[in-house]
């Protein structure tokens, strides 16, 4: 079978090129300063809400300024639970630039004169025209419904955005190495992703990621749900012991996004899950099943967790006889009548 006939496969494999464009565009954008705002809100829907979770954690880690992530629908319908009189920067993230909840929430935010808006997208659409700062990564555009290349490209843009707005110029030169390492990871670990993905003896996947990696764990969990219709859940590492580990057996795969600082605690969780019969897949800079070997600081290499796990979901989808490009019941853009 030629996997090239699937748009999802082509998009996963080609994503480092979109990463490079994201880095370039963000490097020349005129960005506000973190000290200009008392809080930053990141918003999106579905995958881009999970991207917002990862972005808010990274922003706060790098700037020491308050940040939070909220779904576009919550910002629209329940803004009183989110917004205060504090000076607020809104970062709206949307692949299409047309998602109703995100567009409407930004329109409301601007009408109420809450603050500036940064938009990160893959298409120059209505959302971009509402932006004070607009970053459109066209090489992240996709034919398929489930986000892979688009998500990764926007996450790289967010990573560069957070580093720049924090004044962390020391991190910026290392970003240019991400595309090369991404291509190497895809080439080196595609067969491993296929081996795990095509094994239909597994019936459940658990994705563990803490800190700036938790939003990414939520996203790869969503890819497994969307493309493969498999039971899948994300958790923080230590939280997994508090009940969810009861589900671990020989049919479960536990994927761990290892950090540097907390590796000892996280690796112990994975070791315990392996002892319970689960299959463990560990990703990290070194001493893992998938090793980045990047030399890039941990705070800005998060995108490297994505391609192998996206490929795992792709191969499982095909093995189950599904169409990874068109998951059940889904459309590429959610448009609602408000």
**Per-residue confidence in pLDDT tens, the chain, 338 aa:** 789 999 999 999 999 999 999 999 999 888 888 888 999 999 999 999 999 999 999 999 999 999 999 999 999 999 999 999 899 999 999 999 999 999 999 999 999 999 999 999 999 999 999 999 999 999 999 999 999 999 999 999 999 999 999 999 999 999 999 999 999 999 999 999 999 999 999 999 999 999 999 999 999 999 999 999 999 999 999 999 999 999 999 999 999 999 999 999 999 999 999 999 999 999 999 999 999 999 999 999 999 999 999 999 999 999 999 999 997 765 655 655 76
Please identify which residue in the block is written with the tokens 């808006």. 117
CB 155 within 8 A of CB 182: no
Please report the pLDDT score of residue 332 as a whole number.
58
Please report the pLDDT score of residue 36 as a whole number.
87
Please report the pLDDT score of residue 335 as a whole number.
59
Please report the pLDDT score of residue 330 as a whole number.
58
Closest CA to 157 of 208, 219, 94, 213: 94
In eight-state DSSP terms, residue 145 is S
Indicate the domain borders of the chain.
3-175, 178-319
CA 178 centroid distance within chain: 15
- Token readout for 238 is 């230590």
CB 119 within 8 A of CB 128: yes
Please report the pLDDT score of residue 255 as a whole number.
98
CA-based torsion, 191, 195, 197, 198: positive or negative: positive
Please report the pLDDT score of residue 124 as a whole number.
96
Per-residue CA distances from 213 to 21, 43, 48, 174, 179 (Å): 23, 17, 14, 19, 19
One CATH from 3.40.50.10420, 3.40.50.10490, 3.40.190.80, 3.20.20.150 for 3-175: 3.40.50.10490
Helix (H) or strand (E) holding 305: none
pTM: 0.96
End-to-end CA distance of the chain: 44
Please report the pLDDT score of residue 185 as a whole number.
98
Phi, psi of 89 (to 5 degrees): -105, 130
Supply the DSSP string of 94-138, one letter for each residue: ESSS--HHHHHHHHHHHHTT---EEEEESS-STTGGG-SEEEE-G
Was domain 178-319 assigned CATH 3.40.50.10490?
yes
Please indicate whether the domains covering 3-175 and 178-319 agree at the CATH topology level: yes
CA 76 centroid distance within chain: 22
**Measured between alpha carbons, how far is 191 from 3 in angstroms, rounded to an integer?**
13
Between helix 149-165 and helix 47-63 the angle, nearest 10°, is 20
Residues in the chain: 338
Q: How many CB atoms lie within 10 A of CB 123?
A: 19
Please report the pLDDT score of residue 336 as a whole number.
59
Please report the pLDDT score of residue 171 as a whole number.
96
- Token readout for 334 is 């959610």
3-state SS, residue 149? helix
């Amino acid at each position: 079978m030629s996997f090239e006939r699937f748009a999802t496969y082509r998009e996963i494999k080609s994503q480092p090129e979109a990463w490079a464009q994201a880095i370039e565009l963000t490097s020349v954008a005129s960005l506000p300063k973190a000290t200009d705002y008392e809080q930053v809100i990141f918003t999106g829907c579905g995958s881009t809400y999970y991207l917002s979770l990862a972005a808010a954690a990274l922003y706060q880690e790098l700037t020491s300024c308050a940040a939070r992530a909220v779904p576009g629908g919550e910002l629209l319908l329940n803004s009183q639970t989110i917004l205060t009189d504090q000076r607020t920067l809104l970062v709206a993230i949307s692949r299409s630039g047309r998602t109703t909840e995100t567009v409407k929430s930004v329109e409301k935010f601007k009408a109420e004169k809450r603050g500036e808006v940064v938009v990160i997208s893959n298409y120059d659409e209505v959302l971009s025209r509402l932006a004070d700062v607009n970053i459109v990564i066209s090489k992240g555009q996709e034919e398929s419904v489930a986000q892979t290349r688009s998500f990764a490209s926007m996450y790289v843009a967010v990573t560069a955005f957070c580093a720049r707005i924090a004044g962390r110029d020391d991190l910026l030169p290392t970003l240019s190495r991400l595309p090369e390492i991404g291509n190497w990871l895809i080439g080196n670990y595609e067969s491993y992703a296929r081996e795990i993905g095509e094994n239909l003896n597994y019936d459940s996947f658990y994705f563990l990621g803490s800190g700036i990696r938790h939003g990414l764990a939520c996203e790869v969990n969503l890819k497994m749900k969307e493309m493969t219709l498999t039971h899948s859940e994300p958790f923080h590492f230590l939280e997994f012991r508090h009940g969810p580990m009861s589900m671990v057996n020989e049919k479960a795969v536990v994927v761990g996004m290892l950090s540097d600082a907390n590796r000892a605690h996280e690796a112990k969780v994975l070791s315990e899950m392996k002892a319970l019969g689960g299959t463990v897949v560990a990703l990290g800079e070194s001493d893992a099943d998938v090793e980045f070997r990047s030399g890039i600081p941990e705070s800005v290499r998060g995108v490297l967790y994505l391609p192998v796990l996206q490929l795992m979901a792709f191969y499982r989808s095909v093995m189950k006889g599904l169409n990874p490009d068109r998951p059940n019941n889904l459309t590429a853009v959610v448009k609602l009548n408000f």
